[in-house]
Amino acid sequence: MTQTIGKVYAEALFQLAQEEHQEKKIYEELNQVADLIGQHPDLVILLDVPTLDTAERISILQKIIGEEQGITENFLCLLVEKRRFGRLAEIRNAFNMLYHEHFHIAEVFVTTAVPLEDFQWEDLLQKLHEKLGKNIILRESVDSSLIGGMIVQYGDTRMDNSVKSRMQEFAKQVSKH
């Protein structure tokens, strides 16, 4: 079974994080950098451009993330050296999967028509924890077109209990008759 480049790099980084007992720190730093780079996709192109030498590309990276010589920074410099910085999103996703699996975490995405109140947030966290038997990282987004209800998605599972989908289903049923 062949592994993707992203998964190979993620596994190596996760193993190093475990050896140094810095799993959480590296998880947070890697996600922070990946979020920043995701907001500025031209940086990926710049950090992988073949016309700049490695030292110039690493200098650009260090100006972006700082020059602290931690594991995450050294890892990112390695990606620049190997011209693999374009794989950062893939590496991040694979690393996050390893981290979540190791610490029994489920990342759950919930979409609601209006933001959840604190008590709703806590109730949903508790119910998801009971159902999945894992610690929950809840990612909330708002889509007013749902009208009411919510869509909950984790892994390959999607539960759509929105008013919008129920209305669409009702419309289908009515049109059949």
State the chain's mean pLDDT as an integer: 93
pLDDT in tens, 47-98: 988 899 999 999 999 998 887 779 999 999 999 999 999 999 999 999 999 9
pTM of the model: 0.79
CA distance 72 to 33: 9
Q: CA torsion sign, 155 to 100 to 5 to 32?
A: positive
| pLDDT class of 171 with cuts at 50, 70, 90 | confident
Written as six digits, the tokens of 22 are 């810095």
What residues does 112 pair with on adjacent strands? Answer: 142, 150
Residue-wise over 122-140: b if at least 16 C-beta within 10 A, else e?
eebbeebeeebebebebee
CA distance 85 to 171: 48
Find the mean pLDDT for residues 136-142.
Answer: 95
Give yes or no for residue 1 having a pLDDT over 70.
Answer: no
Q: Which fold has domain 5-100?
A: Peroxidase; domain 1 (1.10.520)
* Percentage of residues of the chain with pLDDT beyond 90: 77
